[in-house]
Amino acid sequence: MSGNAGKSNLILVGFMGTGKSTVSRMLSESLGWPRFDTDEEVERRSGKTISELFAEEGESSFRDWESRALADVLSGTNRIVATGGGAVLREENRRVMRLGGWIVALTADKESLIRRVTAGNADGTRPLLAGDAEARVASLLETRKHAYDFAHAVIDTSRLSPADVADLLQRWLR
């Protein structure tokens, strides 16, 4: 990470369906850096799926699990960290991220997001999209319009494959 001294992790933030998890897997493989995913961390630590956590403990408890997982994974160095789409909502988390590394926001236009999340929401990690996923995406996008603005860099993935995004980031990091 020449010229980027002092920042030691690469943190991917962005709305659901922007490809954070897939891109993090690819980057981890090509850079040889270990990969962490806050959703997976929360599920592992709580012993519950994200949907179960939302249903049984409520969103704010899920956010507490998420904040703890985020702070812990960012205490390491040279890690690729994929975050849940709502991890940026708490100021405390944004602060931990700013201290923990380079933050890259993945974005995509509404149509691409709807296409991706409706194709892949069978895994139960997105209770916020339950019901009319299209309407939920539209309304959450509106609420979170500026939520990712604090990132150091932004990549619009609407017309890029996860491999293209990973490639871009890899070249940037070299």
Using the rule CB under 6 A, is 10 a contact of ligand S3P? no
Dist CA 147 CA 15 (whole Å): 9
Distance CA 110, CA 144 (A): 12
User: Does residue 105 interact with ligand S3P by CB under 6 A?
Assistant: no
If one asks whether residue 100 binds ligand S3P (CB under 6 A), the answer comes out as: no
Give the nearer residue to ligand S3P in terms of CB position, either 37 or 101.
Answer: 37
144 is in an annotated binding site: yes
20 is in an annotated binding site: yes
**Amino acid sitting at position 120:** G
Based on CB atoms, which residue is closest to ligand S3P, 23 or 128? Answer: 128
What are the tokens at 15? 């709305």
Binding mask 135-164 for ligand S3P (x = CB under 6 A): ------------------------------
List the one residue out of 53, 151, 173, 146 whose CA is nearest residue 93: 151
Q: Rounded to an integer, what distance in angstroms lies between the CA atom of residue 18 and that of residue 92?
A: 23
19 annotated among ligand-binding-site residues: yes
Cα–Cα dist 94/140, whole Å:
19
Residue 73 makes contact with ligand S3P by CB under 6 A: no
The per-residue b/e assignment along 74-99, b for 16 or more CB within 10 angstroms, e otherwise, is: beeeebbbbbbbbbbeeeebbebbee
The response to whether 167 counts as a known ligand-binding position is no
Where does this chain bind ligand S3P (CB under 6 A)?
A: 16, 20-21, 39, 50, 84-86, 125-128
Binding-site annotation, residues for ATP: 17-22, 126
Binding-site annotation, residues: 17-22, 39, 63, 85, 126, 144
Binding-site annotation, residues for substrate: 39, 63, 85, 144
